[in-house]
Amino acid sequence: MGSLGAMLKHPDDVYPLIKLKIAARQIEKQIPPQPHWGFCYTMLQKVSRSFALVIQQLPIELRDAVCIFYLVLRALDTVEDDTSIATEVKVPILIDFHRHIYDREWHFLCGTKDYKVLMDQFHHVSTAFLELGKNYQEAIEDITMRMGAGMAKFICKEVETIDDYDEYCHYVAGLVGLGLSKLFHASGTEDLASDSLSNSMGLFLQKTNIIRDYLEDINEIPKCRMFWPRQIWSKYVNKLEELKYEENSVKAVQCLNDMVTNALSHVEDCLTYMSALRDPSIFRFCAIPQIMAIGTLAMCYNNIEVFRGVVKMRRGLTAKVIDRTRTIEDVYGAFFDFSCMLISKVDHNDPSASKTLKRLEIILKTCRDSGTLNKRKSYILRAEPNYTPALIVVFFIILAILLGYLSGNKPHSL
């Protein structure tokens, strides 16, 4: 749960935080009894709690397919990321991975912690995969094959140009978007979205993570590969790691703003993609991560802390996004609010300022043109209400009761 200090500053975070906590406990109780499905859903919670939460509301057949799709790709990613595997061993595994998922006997030991367990017990994932409908299996196989081939291509290739950056992000995230669109379509509730819109959905999320994780990635031992494109950072420094040194603060923030501006180019497509969705559970599944991404970019933009520590949305705001994202109006509202926040942070001396502002104006216009902004529940930029001392006392009493109710349950991070 959020820290007490954060909750005091944002008392209206408390209710969504408690709802989220209860939802998380519900999920733990709903692990399927069959051992292979039990393994898959337990694993999903371990490797991504937030994903396990948003996946939960999908219709069961689609949920199973998305769960397996996610675990297969996490396993593929574990192979890609394990720097202890020699290239000549790694490349054939990446390329053949779409065949291994049909083989209950196949496994390959690599990765650490939960990922190591996932790899070691991969037969559970294969078993569950083989129980999915044929059209789900084919969609997962096709995307795994293309992603594995793309990862293999980039094992020996640096991300030099912006085109390389887009290509790498297409393999590791854009293809996830394409795959999910196929699974939604296979479930019978959605039209098949275009590849280019689906790709943008993945790229926007991936680029946000790449920006936010600069420091974590650059400090990783053994050295992690970096995905900030040389074409962007070389305008500011001679080596990518120089961005983290104090003396380069001005250049670092300028480079960061350039990267954020690049990521913003996908927002239009993302809004178009989401506006076409019909099923409310699929809509929420797609929209929550997108709002988290624009929120994260708004926090990171023009913020030197990206090079000093961890920048992310506070837990309470995340809980609010999960609680309040129901319709496309909520999405336009959130993108509008976060874009306003971004505009207010633009420094006119920044080399990318005019480009950034142009992109943000386009997003604001799209949100305004939707004609839904007056109906929105604005929860991001609204001034915090004034709380009287009596209200604060009542708040603490309720909090104490609720904490008592939730006690015995270990605190988990999202």
- Candidates 74-82, 236-244, 304-312, 366-374; binding stretch for Ca ion (CB under 5 A): 74-82
- Of 82, 86, 80, 73, the residue nearest 129 (C-alpha): 73
Q: Which is nearer to Ca ion, 70 or 136 (CB)?
A: 70
Residue 148: CB minimum distance to Ca ion, A? 12
The residues near 75 (Cβ < 8 Å, ≥ 6 apart) are: 97, 115, 118, 119, 122, 125
Q: Tell me if 164 sits within 8 A of 236, measured CB to CB.
A: no
In angstroms, give the least distance from the CB of 179 to Ca ion: 16
Residue 114 found at the interface with Ca ion (CB under 5 A): no
Of these, 12, 61, 81, 241, which contacts Ca ion (CB under 5 A)? 81
By CB under 5 A, residue 77 contacts Ca ion: yes
At 224, list the tokens: 């992690």
350 near Ca ion, judged by CB under 5 A: no
CB of 1 to Ca ion, least distance (A): 30
> Is 97 considered catalytic here?
no
How many angstroms from the chain centroid is the CA of residue 321? Answer: 13
Of 176 and 277, the one with the shorter C-beta distance to Ca ion is 176
SS3 363: helix
Catalytic residue of the set 212, 284, 359, 376: 212
Region near Ca ion per CB under 5 A, out of 11-19, 76-84, 89-97, 249-257: 76-84
Q: Which is nearer to Ca ion, 61 or 81 (CB)?
A: 81
Residue choice 39, 56, 78, 80 for contact with Ca ion (CB under 5 A): 80
Residue placing its CB nearer to Ca ion in the complex, 2 or 148: 148
* Contact by Cβ (8 Å): 124, 35: yes
- Alpha-carbon span 64 to 58, nearest angstrom: 9
Q: Which residues contact 339 (CB under 8 A, 6 or more apart)?
A: 294, 298, 360, 363, 364, 367
- Contact status: 142 vs Ca ion (CB under 5 A): no
The nearest distance, CB 96 to Ca ion, in angstroms, is 18
Q: Contact between 167 and Ca ion (CB under 5 A)?
A: no
- Which residue, 6, 112, 28, is CA-closest to 412? 28
Coil, helix or strand at residue 371: coil
- Whether 225 is catalytic: yes
Is 241 in contact with 223 (CB distance < 8 Å)? no
Would you count residue 323 as binding Ca ion (CB under 5 A)?
Answer: no
Site for Ca ion in 255-314 (CB under 5 A): none
User: Of 64 and 80, which has the nearer Cβ to Ca ion?
Assistant: 80
- From the CB of 175, what's the least distance to Ca ion, in Å? 13
Nearest to 184 by CA among 207, 201, 166: 201
168 as an active site residue: the answer is: yes
Q: Amino acid identity of 190?
A: E
For this structure, is 212 an active site residue? yes
| Preceding omega of 411 cis (within 30 degrees of 0) | no
* Residues designated catalytic: 168, 212, 225, 285
Q: Residues interacting with Ca ion, by CB under 5 A? A: 77, 80-81
